[in-house]
Amino acid sequence: MLDMKFVRENPDIVKQNLRNKFQEEKLPLVDEVIELDARSRAAKQEADSLRAGRNTISKQIGALMSQGKKEEAEELKKQVSANAARLAELEEQENELADKVTKIMMTLPNIIDPSVPIGKDDSENVEVTKYGDPVVPDFEIPYHTEIMERFDGIDLDAAGRVAGNGFYYLMGDIARLHSAVISYARDFMIDRGFTYCVPPFMIRSNVVTGVMSFAEMDAMMYKIEGEDLYLIGTSEHSMIGKFINTIIEEDELPKTLTSYSPCFRKEKGAHGIEERGVYRIHQFEKQEMIVVCKPEDSPMWFDKLWQNTVDLFRSMDIPVRTLECCSGDLADLKVKSFDVEAWSPRQKKYFEVGSCSNLGDAQARRLKIRVNGSDGKYFAHTLNNTVVAPPRMLIAFLENNLNADGSVNIPEVLRPYMGGMEKLVPKK
């Protein structure tokens, strides 16, 4: 959420930002919220004046009564009653206007970083760097569920009977590989100085609206019937929520946390064949990383975060690339975002396996996460990034480590988590 003072003093910048994000339909909201804010501040000023006057008149009434001037005191009492009625009216007006201002401010997107490329959607995202050499083997690579089935490693039919589409059973060596990747990612991040955390898997609505836009909330979140709780779509939500309504001492920054959690998403809409199987699902597990830091440090942490994901995938010999998300592909709270994509030898192209975002002070402003600095209090900056999110990551892993005989190589870094196994051998 933007600072209202910034919007008031820089309406042209806010409007141009809306144009850059192809949200022209929101342009009238800028002038509307400025006008509502002006009315709100005027109502508050009058109310404050009446409250100050009430105290003065009360003292005058007391003095008149002690002097026996009851008639004059009664006249002042009538004025107090009239002022009280007006004050009640103003307070109601203040609340109504404040609600309207907040509602609009929650829909205005964050100001994007000047370096963000201008584009309408993800088709205009810009490749930054490739890491590793993409290889297409001289044998056919099956669809990822077919590879898993050769190891008796997946049962989509049973999952469909139990929970419906978008769910899965992982079995045997494939399930073990899934857990090995998560455990390795946890230790990888701990070795890089992050504090490991297992957060709540449900959060209240005030945390949900603090970490994402209303549009994202509607598209992603599952609501718990009859309770003010939502299942998390990513542990970033509860990890950032950990600091809600807190004041952090500046010398305690940065807060660097890595978290494990299951994630639950609606995943609305129809998807193509490449997004079937375990690519786009309602439930998955993920290792995440978040940072809460000083504003001047957030660009540096942004680069560190996406590099962590690149390094993790390269340690398993999986080629990856980074893409910078264009303006139209950025969620409303984001200042800047990179996607990390892994190479798919079967598709002969890259696909998304992680996303790194700098949200500036947008989440901190909504959640009231402040820093106590030497020059006063200010809002922190927050960032998040995917370390790894199997089972989607398993697609890249299986395709890039598959041999012609159907076996799958286990990279050296994963072998301690797989009981020393160097290769998975298919059962059929």
- State the CB neighbour count (10 A cutoff) for residue 192: 16
**pLDDT of 80:** 66
**What is the pLDDT at residue 352?**
94
Q: How far apart are CA 117 and CA 66, in angstroms?
A: 74
The pLDDT of residue 271 is 47
Q: Is the distance from CB of 407 to CB of 424 less than 8 angstroms?
A: yes
371 sits in the region (left: phi over 0; alpha: psi -120 to 50; else beta) called beta
Q: Are 202 and 225 in contact (CB under 8 A)?
A: no
Distance between CA atoms of residues 52 and 44, nearest Å: 12
For residues 358 and 381, is the Cβ–Cβ distance under 8 A? Answer: yes
pLDDT per residue as tens, the chain (428 positions): 899 999 999 999 999 999 999 999 999 999 999 999 999 999 988 888 877 766 667 666 666 666 676 667 666 667 666 677 778 888 888 999 999 999 999 999 999 999 999 999 999 999 999 999 999 999 999 999 999 999 999 999 999 999 988 899 999 999 999 999 999 999 999 999 999 999 999 999 999 999 988 778 888 899 999 999 999 999 999 999 999 999 999 999 999 999 999 999 987 554 454 456 787 889 999 999 999 999 999 999 999 999 999 999 999 999 999 999 999 999 999 999 999 999 999 999 999 999 999 999 999 999 999 999 999 999 999 999 999 998 889 999 999 999 999 999 999 999 999 999 999 999 98
E-state strands within 359-401 = 369-373, 376-379, 381-388
pLDDT value at residue 391: 83
pTM for the full model? 0.89
Preceding peptide of 254 cis, ω within 30°: yes
If you classify domain 4-105 with CATH, what class do you get? mainly alpha
Q: Are 15 and 6 in contact (CB under 8 A)?
A: no
Residues in contact with 33: Cβ distance below 8 Å, sequence separation at least 6, in sequence order: 4, 7, 101, 104, 105, 108
Are the beta carbons of 360 and 110 closer than 8 angstroms?
yes
- Tell me what pLDDT residue 203 has: 96
User: Are 280 and 92 contacting, i.e. CB atoms less than 8 angstroms apart?
Assistant: no
- Tokens encoding 5: 């003072």
CB 93 within 8 A of CB 99: no
Q: 258, 289 in Cβ contact below 8 A?
A: yes
What are the start and end residues of each CATH 1.10.287.40 domain in the chain? 4-105
Q: How do strand 423-424 and strand 408-409 relate by DSSP bridges?
A: antiparallel
Residues in the chain: 428
In the chain, which residues fall in CATH 3.30.930.10?
122-424
DSSP 171-239: -HHHHHHHHHHHHHHHHHHHHTTPEEE---SEE-HHHHHHHS-HHHHHHHPEEPTTSS-EE-SSHHHHH
Residue 70 vs residues 56, 60, 61, 64: alpha-carbon distances, Å: 17, 12, 9, 7
Domain 122-424: which CATH number of 1.10.760.10, 3.30.430.20, 3.40.640.10, 3.30.930.10: 3.30.930.10
- Please give the Cα distance from 117 to 135 (Å, whole number): 29
Give the pair of three-digit tokens for residue 82.
């009239």
Between CA 229 and CA 237 the distance in angstroms is 13
Distance CA 345, CA 402 (A): 10
d(CA 294, CA 134): 38
For the four alpha carbons of 167, 258, 2 and 302, in that order, the dihedral sign comes to negative
Q: Give the ranges where 21-136 is alpha helix by DSSP (H).
A: 27-66, 70-105
d(CA 392, CA 306) in angstroms, rounded, equals: 18
